[in-house]
Amino acid sequence: MSGAFSLQGRKALVTGSNTGLGQAIALGLAQAGADVVCAARRAPDETLSLIQAAGGNASAMLLDFSDPMAAASVFEDGAFDILVNNAGIIRRADSVDFSEADWDDVMDVNLKALFFTSQAFARARLAAGKPGKIINIASLLSFQGGIRVPSYTASKHGVAGLTKLLANEWAARGINVNAIAPGYIETNNTEALRADQDRNRAILERIPAGRWGRAEDIAGAAVFLASSAADYVHGAILNVDGGWMAR
């Protein structure tokens, strides 16, 4: 790929890239020319195979973001140009029953780890005097409340806020910080929703595009935000939701 959307010669770290959205994003960046490091709690063998089959370059890194400082030393060599903060977890329970452990587990992975991973990446890029791209994965629940997911909703509201704050601080210093807010996407995480006929119908009726999103829909947005085509895009929360938020 050539032109403004090419990622040739750039190195990217994609967290939570063993399945789902992270896998699709890693593959998309690699197809655009990036050298992709797939970071996950478990070996991302399937993702590596997909990238290699597509003719891309990829390697694996084991990182567990239940430790929010897991990536503190990853960027010290200054080699990474792109960071995609995709790793995330969810816990479900009524708010009157929600535990402190479930609150802390979600906030540690979804928000605290995102901030300190971004901090480590930015420190390395700023020290080297080089530009960088940070792409956070937000959610429809960055804007809405949801039900029975209090820590997830709080964390994703926080992701949107941090995206804007970090953009304010780093835009003039050559680091773009943006986020993607996926809509309802066909992944393992939404299999139960799609299998529930009533819930599936209600969701589809709300989506102007009339279909569930595909993981590659998110990958295209990530390639754009990682590329020079988005050099003047800072602090954006890009909804990739089939029009859900416009309804």
Q: Cα(77)–Cα(62) distance, rounded to whole angstroms?
A: 18
Tokens found for residue 150 = 């209090």
Tokens linked to 112: 């605290």
Which of 75, 80, 121, 152 is catalytic? The answer is 152
In this structure, what is the dihedral angle of CA atoms 130, 224, 108, 15, given to the nearest 10 degrees?
-80
Question: Which among 150, 153, 149 has a CA at the least distance from the CA of 141?
Answer: 153
Two tokens at 147? Answer: 């039900």
Cα–chain-centroid distance for residue 211? 22
Q: Is 184 a catalytic residue?
A: no
Query: Which residues are part of the catalytic machinery?
Result: 152
